[in-house]
Structure 1
Amino acid sequence: MQKIIRILFVLLLITTNSSRAQQKSSSGIQFRENTFAEALQVAKKENKLVFLYVYATWCGPCIELKMTTFKNKSVGSLYNSTFINFSLNGEKGEGPMLAQKYGFQGYPSFFFIRPDGKVLYRAEGFYDSKGFVELGQEVFKISKR
């Protein structure tokens, strides 16, 4: 019986690691799993803006973004190389405090934030892949002025 349990445990570990590897190798936007303060520190170190995506679990356009736009290879290529990507549930954890700080008005909201914590650009609503790439390119141009 113990042998069967060990085999099942090893299979579970293999499956979990395989799933994580697939997620990391996906071509879409890679959101960081840390605190917002840590994202700002990384942005300062790498001289990049933080792309802050504020969502709610019940938000239809947020779900559609996650399933389509954020998985797009062109979107991922631009955002992963240009910004420090951070997503945040606006109703849990750091969400309500940051939503209030940055004056967010609805879901989904996008903030492009300088390493000092000041908002450079904000946008709201659903974007298809093409529109989201254009948004990222425009914000990058603005940041270099």
Structure 2
Amino acid sequence: MKKKLLLLIFLLPLAAMAQDKGIRFEHALSWKEVKAKAKKEGKFIFMDCFTTWCGPCKRMSSEVFSEPAIGEYFSEKFVSVKVQMDKTSIDDEAVKSWYDDAAAIAKEYSVRSYPTFLYFSPEGKLVHREEGSMSAGLFLEISARALKPATTTSPTR
């Protein structure tokens, strides 16, 4: 038992550090605050629209968003936010605080499949959208194109 406890104590900080290497999503900010932060910092906004039951969403979170190179790139270029689009009985207060905004975002931007990735200019204008799971390389390439709205088009995959 002591060995397991010591191993857990040793591994927890490593797990926390691993989480810091990927995309750092804003959890405590409202949609209005996310837009204000992006405008103030001159960064684009990346929004991951996901559901709790979506397998491809979970894959993106565990295999793509956690990549250190993607985390570094997104920290420099984006204010990032994850928006849970469904409601569950175990949602915490942070998720519940986004219910109205999630519904408005789903309606305004026709979010009907998951994951959907929305990219906004620093002024809060939608400049690109992408849907579905993809490799880390393709995700990075698409995200880089989203920073140049004049060159973005509908999904190309």
TM-score when scaled to structure 2? 0.73
Pick closer, same or farther for the CA change 1:126–1:25 going to 2, 3 Å: closer
Count of residue correspondences: 128
- Give per-residue Cα distances to partners, 1:16-51, cap 9 Å, x unaligned: xx76x9258621000001111110000110111110
Pick closer, same or farther for the CA change 1:115–1:24 going to 2, 3 Å: farther
Q: Is contact 2:37-2:79 (8 Å) kept?
A: yes
- 4+ residue runs of structure 1 moved beyond 6 angstroms? none
Alignment-mate amino acid for residue 55 of structure 2:
G
The 2-side partners of 1:64 and 1:125 are apart by 10
Identity of aligned residues (%): 28
- Find the counterpart in structure 2 of residue 10 from structure 1: none
Alignment-mate amino acid for residue 122 of structure 2:
P
Unaligned runs of 5+ in 1: 1-14
Please state whether the residue corresponding to 2:65 is helix, strand or coil.
Answer: helix
Does 2:62 align with 1:67? yes
Q: Is contact 1:29-1:77 (8 Å) kept?
A: yes
Kindly report which structure 2 residues correspond to 1:1-145, keeping only aligned pairs within 5 A, or say none: 22=16, 26-33=20-27, 34-92=29-87, 93=99, 94-142=101-149
Please state whether the residue corresponding to 1:58 is helix, strand or coil.
Answer: coil
- Find the counterpart in structure 1 of residue 154 from structure 2: none
TM-score when scaled to structure 1? 0.78
Unaligned runs of 5+ in 2: 1-8, 88-98, 152-157
Alignment-mate amino acid for residue 85 of structure 2:
G
